[in-house]
Amino acid sequence: MKLVVDSAVQLSPETLDRLDVRVAEYPMYLNGDPYPVSIRMSRAEKDTLRLLLKDKHNRVTTSGLREEDLVALYEACTGDRILSLHQSERASTVSAAAIRKVVAERKDLDVTYLDAHHLTAAYSVLVLDTARNVAAGLPADEVIARFERARAKTRHLGVVYDLFYLHRTGRIGLARALLGSAMKILAILGSSEEPGVLKSIGKVKNHVQANQRFASIVREDMERWKARKLEAVISVIGPHDEEVEHLRASIADLGYDASITVTYSNHSNMPHAGPDFYDVGYIVRDE
Quick: pLDDT tens for 155-164. 999 888 765 4
The Cα–Cα gap between 233 and 217 comes to 15
For β-strands 186-190 and 154-160, DSSP reports them as antiparallel
The answer on 79 and 138 residing in a single domain is: yes
Quick: pLDDT tens for 181-217. 434 577 788 876 777 777 778 888 899 999 999 999 9
**Structural domain range at position 103:** 2-152
The answer on 148 and 7 residing in a single domain is: yes
Mean pLDDT computed over 36-65: 92
pLDDT of amino acid 272? 79
The answer on 275 and 229 residing in a single domain is: yes
pLDDT of amino acid 175? 32
* pLDDT score of 9 more than 70: yes
pLDDT of amino acid 182? 35
The answer on 34 and 75 residing in a single domain is: yes
The answer on 210 and 125 residing in a single domain is: no
Q: Give the CATH number, domain containing residue 207.
A: 3.30.1180.10
* pLDDT score of 169 more than 70: no
Q: Share the mean pLDDT of the chain.
A: 89
* pLDDT score of 72 more than 80: yes
- The set of residues, in sequence order, having a beta carbon less than 8 Å from that of 251 and lying 6+ positions away, is 214, 215, 218, 230, 232, 258, 260, 280, 282
pLDDT of amino acid 200? 78
The Cα–Cα gap between 127 and 163 comes to 29
Domain stops at, among 116, 136, 152: 152
Distance of CA 279 to the CA centre of its chain: 8
Mean pLDDT computed over 71-95: 94
